Amino acid sequence: DAGITQSPRHKVTETGTPVTLRCHQTENHRYMYWYRQDPGHGLRLIHYSYGVKDTDKGEVSDGYSVSRSKTEDFLLTLESATSSQTSVYFCATGSIGTGSLSGPYFGPGTRLTVT
């Protein structure tokens, strides 16, 4: 699997505070993704990136922003955390563009609790 790390792995924060989650990859993959996973909802796409400084919204992007200033890092920011953003967040990377390539590959996840 791709070398994907997420930091922090666990975080507890208070409502209204800003939070940034980091995804780092060592595979030089072009595509990176942020998903969240909640009981009863499964995995839902928040934002994705198809290149440095190229990002787009997913299914559940409200309240989140992302940035990608270099290939290896994709940051997810909660500008003002709310309790509804308590979730497990997964980053994924892939070299899929057109055609058949394996992946995307997922990181280990970040468990975020907003109190």
Partner 1 sequence: DAKTTQPPSMDCAEGRAANLPCNHSTISGNEYVYWYRQIHSQGPQYIIHGLKNNETNEMASLIITEDRKSSTLILPHATLRDTAVYYCIVRSATSNTGKLIFGQGTTLQVKP
Residue 65: CB minimum distance to partner 1, A: 18
Output DSSP code: residue 83: G
Contact call for residue 7 and partner 1 (CB under 8 A): no
Q: Which of residues 46-65 bind partner 1 (CB under 8 A)?
A: 48, 50, 56, 58-59
Considering the rule CB under 8 A, would residue 102 count as an interface residue with partner 1? yes
Q: CA nearest 36: which of 112, 114, 105? A: 112
Question: What would the two tokens of residue 15 be?
Answer: 């409502």
Stretch of 11-19, 35-43, 67-75, 76-84 contacting partner 1, by CB under 8 A: 35-43
What are the tokens at 23?
């995804």
Neighbours of 98 (CB within 10 A): 5
Distance CA 60, CA 38 (A): 12
Asked, as a colleague might, if the bond just before 39 is cis with ω within 30 of 0, I would say no
**Which C-beta is closer to partner 1: that of 31 or that of 74?**
31
Binding test (CB under 8 A) with partner 1, winner from 23, 25, 33, 60: 33
Residues lying near partner 1 in the complex (CB under 8 A) are found at 1, 31, 33, 35, 42-45, 48, 50, 56, 58-59, 88, 90, 92, 94, 96-100, 102-109
